[in-house]
Structure 1
Amino acid sequence: MQIFMRRFADVLAEFLAGFEAGMRAAFGPAALGLMLLLALPLAATAQAPAADAPVRFGILPLGGAFESRSDWDPLLAELSRAIGRPVSVLSVNSYEALEQAIQRNEVDMAFLSGKMALDAVTQRRMKVVAQVVRHDGLPGYRALLLSRKTPPMHSLKHLLDQPERWRLARGEKQSVSGFIVPQLQFFLPNHIAMETRFQSEIVGTHQTNALAVANNEADVATNNSADFERFRQRFPAEAERLQVLWESELIPHAQIVVRREYPAELRTRVQAFLVAYGRAKGPRGDAERVVLKSLHDLAGFVAADNSSLQPAAKLAYQLAKQNAVTAQWVNDAARQARLQRIESVYAEQAGVLKDLTP
């Protein structure tokens, strides 16, 4: 049966590809969009995961790909035993690579931060089951801007007076603390677009960006309070050369998401395992807490649903609106059309985030 379903999925994919080309030629994109929308339930059914197939877990790249995978391996081995299914790991080097894997339906469960989790839930048929908790007890973390302590650029005034003079190290555009929040809460309010105003830029992980500033390969870097704390432990000499220039408002912690195609019973078991992990007393609980500490000093997980992504949706909405207001347009009608589309997308997201089932 499993082989049949896989072959059926292949045949369906070939059919839809040919169907798309024919419909586009015959009726144009509008009719094509409607017909493909009607075909989506069938495609989703064909791609439902087989009962004995591995659950493919995607890891947000916070350090290196190997480092992220080795940190998660012990927890995922326990998860596999708890749900009675094999769990395989997809660890990548960039947000974009993980996003593309999710789009290709190569990920069934994932550890994602705000914007990526939001897209997975609103566009890629996933559901939130848990949210991480840190030892500091705060409901989130803060985006940071880092610089060296020594001249020439070592204050916000130096940064704002001549942004074109400095080299920037930032996160990918999907990164909440590496791009979205610094852009929204600091750079755009000061009439600076991160992508265009600096002398040069490096796009990398929080660790590589902090190292770039410490080693004088960049002058300012985006980061966050959780990752910078970890950086201080792993690279104390380099961290000593750095200072925090700016910090944001609190950003909600990352989520664990699972594909909707999985039975609700399995999603509930995943949620129960995560919530219980690290809470037991005795040697087992001690071992689990060591694993959690290696995962960016986590204290554990709490049960969550799609509504936990409402702050991420609001951040994405605010950034899109700010960009639309400040961008150059051929006329005001074009700007208003873009703003109306932003409002429409935000309303659609709000509707999806009202689904609070596990």
Structure 2
Amino acid sequence: MSLLICLLALGWPLHAEGGAPIKMPVAIRFGILPVGNAAESREQWQPLLQDLEKRLGRPVNIVSVSSYAGLSGAIKDQRVDIAFLSGRLATEAIEHQHMSVIAQFVRGDGGKGDVAILVVRADGPINDLKDLLARPGHWRYARGEMLSVAGYVAPEAEVFASRGLNSDTFFAGVRVGNHQNNALAVANGEVDVATNDSPDLDLFRQDFPDEASQLKAIWRSRPLPSEVLVVRDAMPAPIRNALIGFMSGYGHSPGAAGERERANLARIPALTGFAPADNRVLQPFVDMEFLLIREQAQHGQWVNEHAREARLTQIDADYQKALRDLLRH
């Protein structure tokens, strides 16, 4: 990063020869949810964000991290102004970090969502979900971070907690990684089953066709709303409005400009554009999160039934508060 960009990012003033301050635009810091690895994510987004720089008339610096936890920490530390997030990170940012949804991803098929997937080797001993669940303590599992909806929350809620199970104790071993590395682990025989999602699995087929041919899906979740863009509530209205206008119109310019924009969008897995949205698109994630928490409490070990019921009552109250907080913004 150049010295000029560093100064802009920090908000430091520059001065002319006579000492008078020169007003320079402060950089916008764009946080990217890690897909594959941090370097890949940065490369995928760079052309689009260069166009955003031109529209806003100010630098856009990429905050690219290697984990969901890293991006969550960057948001908490006020190092991110706008971010591409999945449901759980987005709800956390809205509830605790004074941010709001401005747009939702539109996928390659025109939809605004995807599905979580469990994958195994096509030539392996697991043919379906019944085979998987029939042998507790036997298989090796690779999943996403706990902040990942497709990598943890959806399969945990729909496959394990709904049956009174916990994946951390059900399997013989559990490893945590991103979708790409987990799929490779299955293909290489290092684990028996792994979580993934539809856009990342499509990207894996492009990048690793031989390994992808060795995989098959044994479970798919209900449709999950796709990722969103969130911005800080303190962002000045002119910048916010310009940002919304840019995102909603990107890929729809006429002629060669539109073709170039669509090519830039295609660099980002399964993305064809952005649809205007607000915090209400996150309610399905809140519903799923509390379903998981409730199922875990329902099937957990308690000193007595009264303690269980008290916990379930508190979870229901927390759920209603989370909905109010989400819809109030």
| Partner SS state of residue 68, structure 1 | helix
1:228 aligns to what?
A: 201
C-alpha deviation, 1:51, in angstroms: 8.6
1:73 to 43, 46, 51: 46
2:147 aligns to what?
A: 174
**Residues 214-234 of structure 1: per-residue CA shift (max 9 Å, x gap):** 010110001111111111111
Question: Is 1:336 aligned with 2:309?
Answer: yes
CA contact (8 A) 2:128 2:219 kept: no
CA distance in 2, matches of 1:341, 1:123: 20
CA contact (8 A) 1:307 1:355 kept: no
CA distance in 1, matches of 2:244, 2:328: 16
1:139 aligns to what?
A: 112
CA distance in 2, matches of 1:297, 1:144: 16
1:293 to 263, 266, 278: 266
C-alpha deviation, 1:186, in angstroms: 1.2
1:219 aligns to what?
A: 192
| Partner SS state of residue 137, structure 2 | helix
5 Å-filtered alignment, 1:1-358, equals 52-355=25-328
CA distance in 2, matches of 1:245, 1:322: 22
CA distance in 1, matches of 2:56, 2:307: 51
CA contact (8 A) 1:71 1:295 kept: yes
| Partner SS state of residue 105, structure 2 | strand
CA contact (8 A) 1:133 1:302 kept: yes
CA contact (8 A) 1:130 1:256 kept: yes
- Amino acid in structure 2 at the alignment position of 1:161: A
TM-score (norm 2): 0.90
| Partner SS state of residue 164, structure 1 | coil
Q: Which shows bigger deviation, 102-111 or 260-269?
A: 260-269
- Amino acid in structure 2 at the alignment position of 1:205: N
CA contact (8 A) 1:92 1:98 kept: yes
- Size of the aligned set, in residue pairs, is 311
CA distance in 1, matches of 2:56, 2:317: 39
CA RMSD of superposed structures (Å): 2.0
| Partner SS state of residue 165, structure 1 | coil
CA contact (8 A) 1:142 1:251 kept: yes
CA distance in 2, matches of 1:103, 1:121: 11
- Amino acid in structure 1 at the alignment position of 2:186: V
**Which structure features the higher share of helix residues?**
1
CA contact (8 A) 1:170 1:209 kept: yes
CA contact (8 A) 1:160 1:190 kept: no
C-alpha deviation, 1:352, in angstroms: 2.6
- Amino acid in structure 2 at the alignment position of 1:174: L
CA contact (8 A) 1:143 1:181 kept: yes
